[in-house]
Chain A
Amino acid sequence: MNFYQTSVFSSLLFHLLLLLGISPLLPGIIARTKAVIAGRQGPPLLQPYSDIRKLFRKSMVISRTTTWLFRAGPVVGFAVPLLAAMLVPFGAMPAPLSFTGDLVLFVYLLGLARFFTVLAAMDTGSSFEGMGAAREATFSVLVEPIIFVAFVVLARSSNSLTLNTMLSAGAGGALFSGPAAMSLILISFCLFIVLLVENCRIPFDDPNTHLELTMIHEVMVLDHSGPDFALIQYGAAMKLLLSAVLVLDLILPSSGSMLFDGFALVAGLMVLAVCIGLVESAMARLRLIRIPQLLVGTTLLSFFAFILVLR
């Protein structure tokens, strides 16, 4: 316990370093992977950093029809991943903030960010953004059960209601040998799907498309520009990192050395980014009406994991 208390500060530092420092690297790796597979040279790995820096130096164009809600969306979108990440252990590094039932706060913090993004989108009065908001709201309703069932499975298998313990399954090696191994594998897969949906990756959404009518997330932020848009991009990168950490927490084993585990987590993040790039290169986007079917299917999968853990 003594060790845990002294490490709160270092854990906070590690979390912030990864969130603020490493997160923009992940979209860069994904873009580079896709470029290599498609036979293109692609943008530099550090392009997202330059993009964010560039956007912060620009001025903003704000529609006269909007209100404070429009400005609030990006701020909440930036702050929420930072806050939510404080509840999640990063590999072997425990979460700086932890209490019983924090998993509910975690899910609804993410819900809060979505709520504000949707409000900001509808605030513009644009028909495109209204459509995007409707789609985002519809799909999030279908994603939430997946996350909750996954957390219930983790809570059951770890006999705990704090994310810190629940998500240490990988570190404890439960994925490979424990009685819940099978359901943990299913849950890891479900969380990977959640990662793709929540971060608007192919096959659910295409972050690179310019076609307003097909977008989900991108269309909601069409009217944002300059520093606001930089916050959105930065926030999206942190959310990607956070979702990736959730998956890695379940599968990365611990070596016992804090330093080594830290590096392993960063390496794992990069491998996961490459995997996302491979998925995006290998398949086309789903039709919009097929997405709910896939999400319901994933929910069912998480239920199977639940049944297995009840056994």
Chain B
Amino acid sequence: MTPYPVIHNGGTLQLADLQPLSYQELGGILAPLLTRGCRLVTCFADPGPNDDFPLSIYTVVAEDAANRLAIFRAVGEQVLESLTPGCPQFHLFEREIGEQFGVVFKGHPWFKPVRFHAPWPGKTDAWNRDPARHPLAGDMEYFQVAGDEVHEVGVGPVHAGIIEPGHFRFQCYGEEVLHLEISLGYQHRGIERLLAGGPWPQTPYRIETAAGDTTIGHMTAYSMVVEALSRTTIPEKPAVIRALALELERLANHVGDIGALAGDVGFLPTSAYCGRLRGDYLNMTAAISGSRFGRGLVRPGGVLYDIDQDMAEQLRQTLAKVSAHTRGALNLFFETPSVLSRLEGVGKVSLQDAAALGMTGVAAKACGMDCDTRRHHSVARYRREYIDAVIESGGDVYARARVRQREIDQSISLVNQGLYKIPRGPLRMKPGKLAAESFAVTMVEGWRGPVVHAAVTDREGRISRYKIVDPSFFNWSGLAMALRNEQISDFPLCNKSFNLSYCGFDL
């Protein structure tokens, strides 16, 4: 028995089972945990029924080796002693809670806004900004380096390519980057607040667009939350179809990413082929659900579209052809010396830094961290399928590209196997009412890494607080670390090797 409550991925807890701790006690328990191979998964505050202080601060820590999640509830007053100095993983979560609820974290190394939105209704502003004016995105103090020959380069929020908006502030000494600070928030839509009081009829559409390139990942995580809270066990068939769609999403994005890396280093053949192949994988998802990104495929209780025998056969044939081309394009990329010399040793992140920042997903696997939700926190249905997390040790651009290449191989065989084994049965089981005063957390290994959704329900069984953590939330800090003492001209390549979501961060 552990001294704190633990559940498995997709499990629930009664709120009454969570003993409230003080924020200090929480820090005392977490500090040793987080240095012992456990990862901070999510942390968020909920004002509770009276919409007033003290807040409840929920924290979820993944104990990967034990395949379980530890849940904590701490009491949050208006002013708290920051945990960031001891557990750097908290740095963004604390800034986020400060921005939403006006909680001031004393001792936080640099307490400033994250997404530049006004405090939530009825809350004070942690920075005493003018309540009449909406905060401007990017309006904060940046880290600055002074001295001769030191110069500052600001990039964005409007970029040259067709990408999302974000601001990057480089402190450079000649061509060398001393420090990079990333400021996001330009796409903040307030998704989490829109979900409170739900589930609403429009909730699935909002979840699907939390990060549009991870539609299946986010929607599966949300569906699992609803299923957990309503105690619904979905039939076997939709579980398999969800898993297939998730792997197709991974394939499309990983292939597209390697193509983009090739484009960045100016290696045209792989760039052109991967651009086309990404479309082929997206079209396979479209063949199932009518949407290239799988919108409308996954819903709480199951899926809305079937894969029948004919379609499975057709998909197998397409996959055989497309995967052969994919392997060809990737092998060409990884066998060209001029390409390898661009990738190797660029944008290194050490395993220690990755662990301290709580990095997850592809970027963490590339640093040698053994973390894959499919392996450590698999939900019963998938357990027999997954064997190993793909791990590299370099922590550089090459390692991140290699993780993708190997995951592509893995996913192709998973999809292939899955298409032979689509069980018979119903597509969906309507979930019932959500349990009142409960807590649920789910993790899904999206293509970037674990997509984490957590929900707290109120007395009537409505969602009182919904929390989404896209892997990008942790990994943007990793990108900033990767650029330390690198060439500024290598930034686009490093950025592409992480390929993080802006809207998944901004929510």
Contacts and interface: CB of A to CB of B under 8 A. Distances in A.
B152 A280 contact: no
Contacts of B12: none
A302 to B, nearest CB: 23
A270 interface: no
Given A38-B269, A39-B273, A288 B489 contact: yes
Interface residues of A, number: 31
B265 A284 contact: yes
A284 B266 contact: yes
A60 B152 CA distance: 28
B151 A127 contact: yes
B149 to A, nearest CB: 11
A212 B158 CA distance: 12
Interface stretch (B47-55, B339-347, B467-475): B339-347
A1 interface: no
Nearest to B151: A127
Interface in B127-184: 151-155, 160-161, 174-175
B487 A280 contact: no
Given A38-B272, A39-B272, A283 B338 contact: yes
B271 interface: yes
A134 to B, nearest CB: 8
A130 B154 CA distance: 13
Interface string A107-137: 0000000000000000000011011001100
A34 B487 contact: no
Contact of B271 (A38, A212, A283, A288): A38
Contacts of B346: 287
A211 B338 contact: no
A311 interface: no
Interface string B467-489: 00000000000000000000111
A130 B174 CA distance: 11
B267 A284 contact: yes
Q: Is the interface of B mostly helix, strand, loop or mixed?
A: helix
A127 B269 contact: no
Nearest to B154: A127
A260 B160 CA distance: 46
Given A128-B153, A284-B342, A288-B489, A202 B160 contact: no
B267 A212 contact: no
Given A127-B151, A128-B153, A287 B487 contact: yes
Interface string B88-102: 000000000000000
Contacts of A57: none
Contacts of B174: 134
A285 B266 CA distance: 5
B273 A289 contact: no
Contacts of B269: 37-39, 281
A283 B267 contact: yes
Contacts of A209: 264, 266
Nearest to B492: A211
Contacts of A281: 268-269
B487 A289 contact: yes
Contacts, number: 88
Given A38-B271, A211-B492, A288 B487 contact: yes
Nearest to A130: B151
Nearest to B152: A127
A310 B262 CA distance: 45
Interface centre among B268, B488, B492, B493 (most CB of A within 10 A): B268
B342 A285 contact: yes
B336 A127 contact: no
Interface in A25-83: 34, 37-40
B491 interface: yes
B490 interface: yes
Given A284-B266, A285-B265, A288-B487, A131 B339 contact: no
A277 B2 CA distance: 65
Interface string B247-269: 00000000000000010111111
Contact of B489 (A37, A213, A284): A213
B310 to A, nearest CB: 30
Contacts of B266: 202-203, 206, 208-209, 280, 284-285
Nearest to B174: A134
Contacts of A37: 268-269
B341 A290 contact: yes
A286 interface: yes
A165 interface: no
Nearest to A288: B489
Contact of B492 (A34, A202, A214, A280): A214
Interface in A198-248: 202-203, 206, 208-214
Contacts of B273: 38-39
A283 B174 CA distance: 27
Interface string A18-30: 0000000000000
Interface in A280-300: 280-281, 283-290
Nearest to B273: A39
9 contacts: A39-B269, A39-B276, A209-B266, A212-B160, A281-B268, A284-B341, A287-B342, A287-B490, A289-B487
Given A210-B161, A284-B266, A286-B342, 16 more contacts: A37-B268, A38-B272, A39-B272, A210-B160, A212-B160, A213-B155, A214-B489, A214-B490, A280-B266, A284-B267, A284-B342, A285-B265, A285-B342, A287-B342, A287-B489, A289-B175
